[in-house]
Amino acid sequence: MWLQVYFLCLSCLILPSQSQVEDRASLRRSNDPTGRCHYTFTVASPEESSCPGGSMKPEMDGVLSRLTLLEALVSRLLAGADTGTGTGDKSNGKEGLQEAYAQVTAERKQLQQDKEHLNRQIQELHRRVGKLNQEAEILRQKPCQQTHPSGVAQRESRPASDPAYDPGNGAYQEMKAEVTEVPASHLIPEVTHNLTVCGELLSVGDPVLHRKADSITGKYGVWLQDPQPQGPHYTNKTVWRLDAVGKDIRQLFVYEDMDQFSRGFPMKVLVLPEPVESTGATVYRGSLYYQRKRSRTLIRYDLSSESLATRLDLPHAGFHGQHPYSWGGYTDIDLAVDEQGLWAIYSTSKAKGAIVISQLDPENLEVKKTWETNIRKNTVANAFMVCGRLYTVASYTTPNTTINYVFDTATSVGRAVSVPFKNKYRYNSMLDYNHAQRKLYAWDNFHMVTYDVRLGRVSHGSS
């Protein structure tokens, strides 16, 4: 048996507007005089003159997609009809036609709903545009004015060529604001703003990331900027970096500034004459100060001449795991710098593991004065000096820990404190203070970060 399908009025399948009569679609099955089965789809069409032109391409694309769907449904009907003819099961063919008709009807209903939704959105946009036009017109009719001391509002004396002065020019609008200055000291009375003035540490800010190490050798290390650079070769913007993982640490990476450091582009790599032990090195007044590996020997390396300038043993200092910080890493001797100069943080057998602080001569490394504290070195994660005061950090892994102890060398008194401190990356192996930047520099589990610090006013009895 032959099966023919006719599509009528498919030359204009655009949805009618709301003012037009609702479309109707029908599907009819009949036999022609020769006994062949006919399936006929009939879709009502508006007048030919209402069909859009090329400007309605998006709508035509939508209709074409629906037409494709109808063609797919017809293909399914043809397959169902052939199967029904072969088996003689006419009831299955009728059910297939009913299902197809239901799908076509649902598709048409969905199209109508989409059209109504779009019409509502267009109306809302028109409403908003109208409201914005009204507000713009009000602004154009109210040019900016200033009040003279006489209390009379007058126009500003400006050239006629100034477009901002033209009240009819909608492209320019001028706004004014009055600003009242309030001294910061009234808002934060305990903060010193003079970087040359020392005070007690009040707070430490959140860590700011500057670079992440690329390999396992950067698990922990040292990175610094010189607070008091010397000579013509380097400035306070120069960044110095030592990766402290390895058997023979000698490479000192030099970066022109923080931007080149963040990009990972060193301008020079210096090879040190003696290997470095752990993360206790520091940079000060044009020299790198560090502990020689497996010894209590301190070395001053001149950065301008790129040569060893001074070497001297730190008397009685523990080394290579005798008195490290709690995280280990052979951090027995930690060199630090603050407003008062160069310091060594370590311990001795006589001190029985308690932290000892010595102020050093930056030229010859000789000990100028020594203080013994009452906090054990292996119970704290790290330490640093600010304004002649030693501060210790409770944990190197806890994300939200504290600076838990302070020792003032001016009074030789130590006490417990609780200043919040964040180990964002949970393995903080190096912490140094830069008094020129008023920042802490840290190496936290491959991440090189800085912290802003806030100091209070000078307390009585401090030097």
Length of the chain: 463
One DSSP character per residue, 212-225 reads E-SSGGGSSEEEEE
pLDDT digits 0-9 by tens, 396-421: 999 999 999 999 999 999 999 999 99
Within the chain, how many helices (H) and strands (E) appear? Answer: 4, 26
pTM: 0.60
Is residue 293 in some structural domain? Answer: yes
Is residue 262 in some structural domain? Answer: yes
Who's near 28: CB < 8 A, 6+ residues apart?
A: 39, 40, 42
Predicted local confidence at residue 338, as pLDDT = 98
Is residue 172 in some structural domain? Answer: no
Is residue 70 in some structural domain? Answer: no
Q: How far apart are CA 440 and CA 384, in angstroms?
A: 9
pLDDT higher than threshold 80 for residue 221? yes
Predicted local confidence at residue 430, as pLDDT = 97
pLDDT higher than threshold 90 for residue 440? yes
Is residue 346 in some structural domain? Answer: yes
Q: Is 60 within 8 Å of 52 (Cβ atoms)? A: yes
- Band of residue 195 on the pLDDT scale cut at 50, 70, 90: low
- Band of residue 183 on the pLDDT scale cut at 50, 70, 90: very low
DSSP character for 165? G
Q: How many whole angstroms from its chain centre is CA 36?
A: 73
Q: Is 315 within 8 Å of 286 (Cβ atoms)? A: no
Domain extent for 419 = 201-455
Is residue 44 in some structural domain? Answer: no
DSSP character for 50? G
Between helices 90-140 and 57-87, what is the axis angle to 10°?
Answer: 170
Is residue 354 in some structural domain? Answer: yes
pLDDT higher than threshold 90 for residue 392? yes
Number of domains in the chain: 1
CATH number at residue 344: 2.40.128.630
